[in-house]
């Protein structure tokens, strides 16, 4: 992977890059069975905006980007519709997305009055705590946690994935991607532990919520949820660091860093130790794509 003068760099130099890089969570990619239905659902139920839509007939898919703010500053959901496929298996590994809102009770009423999403947990405080939450399910079966929270620059606030070894995952995301462990919480009465990983505080940005269920080391991931994309200032240096960390903790590089044919956006992609896919995108190239 390393070329020229970069070859043979000591590990500590390679692993210094993720600490300096200005990474940012860009979007989560997943598959839906009816794109127009889901767009209508998210705009009506959650108040998201349709940011852009593109059809790629030669590859037989259409995708749509939805979120609460422009993609050059905010996280987005990238919905993918593959021609003729109306159903996917979400599996047991993907957990939920989360939306922060100032009035979850009111948001739940809006969702109930729509015909597309349903409330699966009524609004109310979390057990043993004061934070008000609710859960909603979209037409494809994806779960959304609704979290009552004051004004935030990023309402699309979590992607929850289940992992088989929480300490290993925390170490992987810290070392390979420069994420910070923002919070860790063990809930022994319900036999799970969570870790919030991200690049800024939970009320300011989108975080990964990694969940470990006691004794469960592996999950069926289905074929619905695809990946999360993260912006980086240098895909080549980032890929070097990821490759080094995968040798220690597991996971693997899927696509060596370089430009995408046609687009020229530089990316690299890899699997984490649990097999969750991450795509790293050159941030300057990403911004060019948008404008």
Q: How far apart are CA 74 and CA 158, in angstroms?
A: 13
Q: Is 289 annotated as a binding residue?
A: no
Q: Is 145 annotated as a binding residue?
A: yes
Q: Is 96 annotated as a binding residue?
A: yes
Q: How far apart are CA 176 and CA 221, in angstroms?
A: 22
122 given a catalytic annotation: no
Q: How far apart are CA 24 and CA 29, in angstroms?
A: 15
Q: How far apart are CA 9 and CA 122, in angstroms?
A: 54
Q: What residues form DSSP beta bridges with 29?
A: 78, 227
Q: Which of 58, 102, 122, 145 is catalytic?
A: 145
Q: Are 217 and 163 in contact (CB under 8 A)?
A: no
- β-pairing verdict for 49-56 and 24-31: unpaired
- β-pairing verdict for 207-213 and 192-198: antiparallel
Q: What angle do CA 256, 265, 68 make, to 5 degrees?
A: 115
> Binding site, residues?
78, 96, 145
Give the active site residues.
145
Annotated binding site for Zn(2+): 78, 96, 145
């Amino acid at each position: 992977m390393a070329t020229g003068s970069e070859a043979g760099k000591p590990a500590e130099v390679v692993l210094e890059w993720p600490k300096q890089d200005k990474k940012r969570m860009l979007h989560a990619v997943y598959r839906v069975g009816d794109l127009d239905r889901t767009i209508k659902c998210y705009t009506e139920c959650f108040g998201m905006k349709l940011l852009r839509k593109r059809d790629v007939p030669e590859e037989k898919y259409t995708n749509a980007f939805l979120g609460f703010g422009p993609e050059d500053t905010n996280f987005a959901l990238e919905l993918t519709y593959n021609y003729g496929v109306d159903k996917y298996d979400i599996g047991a590994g993907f957990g939920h997305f989360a939306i922060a809102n100032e009035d979850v009770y009111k948001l739940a009423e809006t969702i109930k009055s729509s015909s597309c999403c349903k409330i699966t947990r009524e609004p109310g405080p979390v057990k043993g705590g004061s934070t008000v939450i609710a859960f909603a399910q979209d037409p494809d079966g994806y779960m959304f946690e609704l979290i009552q929270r004051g004004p935030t620059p990023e309402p699309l606030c979590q992607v929850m994935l289940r992992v088989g070894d929480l300490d290993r995952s925390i170490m992987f995301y810290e070392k390979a991607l420069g994420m910070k462990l923002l919070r860790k919480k063990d809930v022994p009465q319900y036999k799970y532990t969570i870790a919030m990983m991200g690049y800024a505080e939970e009320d300011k940005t989108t975080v990964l919520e990694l969940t470990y269920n006691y004794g469960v080391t592996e999950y069926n991931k289905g074929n619905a949820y695809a990946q999360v994309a993260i912006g980086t200032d240098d895909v080549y240096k980032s890929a070097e660091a990821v490759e080094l960390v995968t040798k220690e903790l597991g996971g693997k590089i899927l696509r060596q860093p370089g430009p995408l044919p046609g687009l020229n956006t530089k990316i690299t992609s890899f699997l984490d130790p649990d097999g969750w896919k991450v795509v790293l995108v050159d941030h300057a190239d990403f911004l060019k794509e948008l404008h």
